[in-house]
A and B are shown apart, each in its own frame.
Chain A
């Protein structure tokens, strides 16, 4: 099966990463103000997850790491060449792996689901798929 054009993959990754920056920034801004992101339909899952200690890593809210990760992925999506292709794959792999772990924590440790965290996990999964496809199909090939 023929892979989509690299430009198409880059545009998808750019859009998804920019959206990811927005989602992570919203969670981080709410947390900085002492609040939790607002879940749709009055669910308290967002508050439960945000108030859990799992929401911090080394004293820093995980959403801040999310902003950095998505911003780096945005940069790799906009850039051309093998370094961008490989960096995008590596960063999205870390993001995807950690998102899987956090989703497990939500479901089985905290036993609450934050819709914004799920949204971020979905975005990171899409980014991983797109970056992996771009890397496998185009690394070592002329831009």
Chain B
């Protein structure tokens, strides 16, 4: 065997070893990806619907819509509340499509945790998702997968599966922030604000805008049309 062929044989041996290394790298990537995901998102409902509904609309925390919109609609809700789920699926999407997407109004979700103590970690998880611009995705997917209230279904695993499903970019950061004193205090402040406004149930709505002074409490209007009229009156 001449020198050139010998060198080629050695290089091919080297490549064979490198190929094993490459396969090992792929396996490591697969293990890391799988362990980060845990496959939990595949059983959740409403992920694609939420994406479709919110696509192209700016999110800032739990506020949805153009920051310069003159009118802000506030929704005070409890993620465990079944009536809130009904509104999230049948009423709010129409308002988003008619008034928020156009830039006429923005809608801001405020946590009013009235069902039981399980509502607090759910609210905190939504706020933490909002810190990574996935707040409304989180709300929508939570409602789409809501269980029977106060039955203990709001577990860390349930919340993490939603966060992953809606694509929260940094899950470790989300996990840290949702338990931080700052976020938990914010949940408390939002509930206290709802009580100060005299709200007694969820969902309740309020509106601010150039045509009204302060925050006008709307209560629980029965339809998207009623909310849209309130937005128009405030504008």
| A binding-site residues for B, Cβ under 8 Å | 34-36, 44, 47-48, 50-59, 61, 82, 86, 89-91, 93-94, 97-98, 101, 109-112, 135-136, 139-141
Contacts and interface: CB of A to CB of B under 8 A. Distances in A.
A53 B171 contact: yes
Nearest to B18: A90
Contact of B172 (A59, A61, A111): A59
Given A90-B18, A139-B8, A140-B8, A53 B167 contact: yes
Contacts, number: 113
Interface in B144-169: 164-169
Given A52-B41, A53-B165, A59-B169, A140 B7 contact: yes
A108 to B, nearest CB: 9
Contact of A35 (B8, B55, B137, B165): B55
Given A140-B8, A140-B11, A101 B26 contact: yes
B212 interface: no
Nearest to B55: A35
B167 A50 contact: yes
B143 to A, nearest CB: 16
A57 B36 contact: yes
B172 A97 contact: no
B52 interface: yes
Interface of B: 4-5, 7-12, 14-15, 18-19, 21-23, 25-26, 29-30, 32-33, 36-37, 39, 41-42, 47-48, 50-52, 55-56, 59, 133, 137, 164-172
Given A51-B167, A56-B169, A101 B36 contact: no
A52 B167 contact: yes
A136 to B, nearest CB: 8
Given A35-B56, A53-B171, A89 B15 contact: yes
The 10 closest A-B pairs by CB, nearest first: A140-B8, A53-B164, A97-B26, A93-B22, A47-B51, A51-B167, A140-B11, A48-B48, A59-B170, A53-B37
Contacts of A94: 22, 25-26, 29
Contacts of B50: 51
Given A35-B55, A52-B41, A97 B137 contact: no
